[in-house]
Chain A
Amino acid sequence: MKSRNGLLDRREAAFLWALAAAGAAAFAWGLYAAPARTWGAVLIAAGMLTGLAAGALALTAILHVVGAGWHGVIRRVPEAMAGTLPLAAGAVALVLCGAHHIYHWPHAEALLHDPVLRAKSAWLNLPGMAVRSAVYLALWYAGYAWLRGLSRAQDEGAAGDPAAAAGTARAVSAGLLVVFALTFSLSSIDWLMSVEPHWFSTIFPWYQFGGAFSSALAAAAALCIVLRRRGVLSELGPAHLHDLGRLMFAFASFWAYLWFSQYLLIWYSNIPEETVFFAARSTGGWLGMMVASLALNFAGPFVVLLRADSKRREGPLLLAAGMMLAGRAVDLCVTVMPAVAPGPMRPGGVEPFILVGAGALFILAFDRVFRSAPAVPRRDPYLVESLHHV
């Protein structure tokens, strides 16, 4: 008997394809109507997609490294999220196509009059950016493919010793995390921090990791819940949700800690070349977006998830996950938009469509990868522990 394995049925998939098509249409219209903001929205979408996939990859690797006995039941969810890396790579490729609209530093005439940008051009140039982006994404995908293969070796009917696969996965994950820390930091600087090429913040990559990892945890928890409701992950119990909820709570706080660390030092030293970032983001309506980002990424999830029992229940977890995913989009918007389309904040017409379209594509890509393997690796040596997790 072949039971249902995927997340979506045909009608839902068709609906998501329609949303993606609407996003593509909004993108095409935006190129004509408001190119700067449209390309900015593409960068935000690329930030979301790379963050979700890379964050899920880091989560998978961490669960392997620490030997988390509880995670066997949920492992295929972050694994399939990491499997959406090709989609993220497509978004990054699109960003590179629009680099002239998004970034200031690829403009030759800007370099002529700007000694700072000239000095940085050894790193900030388009060929270098393209090569580095390809290297980051290729390394992540290689890590994903390796871990996925080892995980598939623990499926029913697969050849090989599942315990040996678990041991190898642990070693591979340890190496992958070292590579990931370096490449994710550099990718944050390349893709996001360079929208303000004069500005610099040494904590920025950490802060971006906090956001990406939080959003990946939120998406993983939400996908687990929806999958269980559809009878796919029936082994998922309140204890697994509790663990995911604790991680969401911890990393919402971690994000806020890093956001504030960056803000406090810049506010305190009050040096113009550093404060320019927050000056542009606390005027013309952007302050409200920054406050919304803090509320959605930290304050809301903190309050919702503070009680122990709310981390075990679907409702509060879905609410917190929704806030954190929306918060990640708002956070990226506050980071990107004031640089790409300077001036006061105006509610977007095309941006929401592009972001929703990207989200629809993410869910479709996730479903495709998730469907390609059994929902639970039945020969995982820790699975018994995970099934009896309370």
Chain B
Amino acid sequence: MATELLVGAFATPEALLAAARAARAEGLKVRDAYTPFPVHGMDEALGLPPSWLSKACLAFALTGLSIALGFQYWVSLFDWPMNIGGKAFSASPALLPIAFELTVLFAGLGTVGTLLVSRGLLPGAKPSRGGLGATDAAFLLALEVPAGGPAALKAFLTEHGASRVVEAGGAR
């Protein structure tokens, strides 16, 4: 596979942020950044659109809410109505704690699960950019090689403080 990307390794998140901002300012195409922890401001520096995970979160939350309310209403109205303190079978305040808990549980687990599946972070996954220590301790910036060749790009990365620059294929 032809060289598509140049990956620069930076020592600090600040250096990585600065390099990402500079790359976008110079019109270079940033493929991705790899950090061992979330870096504040990285979204804006990479020009990423808002995450669609919040939509998944809402969908899971509504699912949890529907399941909790549906199941409780079904049990207390149809399957096993019980007279508790003379309250109506459909008395809704009693259903809310479970509705709340299941909403939060579904939203939380569902969002994390969606993240893991959509990013391919399942057990047995191979570390991407493993050679450079991505997802371990390195701060990496992957830039797409422009038509003119990698030389200028390499100079750019080194100039912005990359300690190592390697060529890589386009696959993750």
Contacts and interface: CB of A to CB of B under 8 A. Distances in A.
Contacts of B44: 390
A264 B41 CA distance: 42
Contact of A390 (B41, B96, B97): B41
A267 B50 contact: no
B85 interface: yes
Interface centre among A263, A267, A307, A390 (most CB of B within 10 A): A390
Contacts of B50: 308-309
Nearest to A263: B93
Given A308-B50, A390-B40, A390-B41, A264 B93 contact: yes
Contact of B97 (A239, A264, A307): A264
B54 interface: yes
A283 interface: no
Nearest to B85: A270
A239 B41 CA distance: 10
B94 interface: yes
A267 B50 CA distance: 42
Contacts of A307: 54
Interface residues of A, number: 12
Interface residues of B, number: 11
A308 B40 contact: no
Interface in A307-342: 307-309
What is the interface of chain A mostly: helix, strand, loop, or mixed? helix
A123 interface: no
B54 A264 contact: no
Contacts of B41: 390
A308 B54 contact: yes
A389 B94 CA distance: 43
A78 B170 CA distance: 50
A200 interface: no
Interface in A226-241: 239
A178 to B, nearest CB: 30
Contacts of B40: 239, 389-390
Contacts of B54: 307-308
B15 to A, nearest CB: 14
B96 A268 contact: no
Nearest to A264: B93
Contacts of B87: 270
A260 B92 CA distance: 12
A260 B85 CA distance: 19
Contacts of B97: 264
Nearest to A260: B96
Given A239-B40, A270-B85, 9 more contacts: A260-B93, A263-B93, A264-B93, A264-B97, A268-B93, A308-B54, A309-B50, A389-B40, A390-B44
21 contacts: A239-B40, A260-B93, A260-B96, A263-B93, A264-B93, A264-B94, A264-B96, A264-B97, A268-B85, A268-B93, A268-B94, A270-B85, A270-B87, A307-B54, A308-B50, A308-B54, A309-B50, A389-B40, A390-B40, A390-B41, A390-B44
Q: Sorted from nearest, which 3 A-B pairs have the closest CB atoms?
A: A390-B41, A267-B93, A264-B93
